[in-house]
Amino acid sequence: MNNKVYVITRGEYSNYHICAVTMDEEKAQRLRMKYTCEYEKAEIEEYPLDDEMVYIPEYIPVFKVQFYKDGKNEISLSHFVEKGTENPPKYKIEKHKKLKSDYRNYRGEDLWEYYDVSVVMVAAKDRGHALKIASDVRAQKKAEEEGVC
């Protein structure tokens, strides 16, 4: 029997938290990858195992789903929240910009094109569920804006 416990953690200072605990080193490596996101790297801490019970919190990923006017969407992992503490999906419109052309106007200013992007922040078990929930939230908001609901 393994006499070590592997604790997967993330964050620093007040944001430091435990993501998972396992007795299997290979599983710890997989969990470290699972809980690493674009903004925070998960770490593995190793401790000798004693006879105390080990608590394993369950975390749910929060995704940022962006809907563009051309019908495309983009889904990215934002962060994790402890199961049971997740918030309802949040909907907002963000202003994005892109360069219209490769040249500048006569004053040397870039020529920017501004456009709206619908964004939904949603807790879900995977990207597919996040897209489904976000699509439903977006459809509801559009219906409300157009007075259908």
Please check whether residues 66 and 128 belong to one and the same domain: yes
Residue 128, domain extent? 60-145
pLDDT tens per residue across span 14-48:
778 888 888 899 999 999 998 888 778 999 999 88
Identity at 147, one-letter amino acid code: G
Please check whether residues 36 and 81 belong to one and the same domain: no
Could you tell me if residue 140 is inside a domain? yes
Please give the residue that has the higher pLDDT: either 108 or 74: 74
Distance, in Å, from the CA atom of 8 to the CA atom of 73, rounded to the nearest integer, reads 31
Please check whether residues 101 and 29 belong to one and the same domain: no
pLDDT band of residue 108 (cuts 50, 70, 90) is low
What is this structure's pTM?
0.55
Q: Which residues share a beta bridge with 18?
A: 9
Share of the chain above pLDDT 70, in %: 83
Distance, in Å, from the CA atom of 53 to the CA atom of 76, rounded to the nearest integer, reads 35
Strands across the sheet containing 43-48:
17-22, 4-10, 43-48
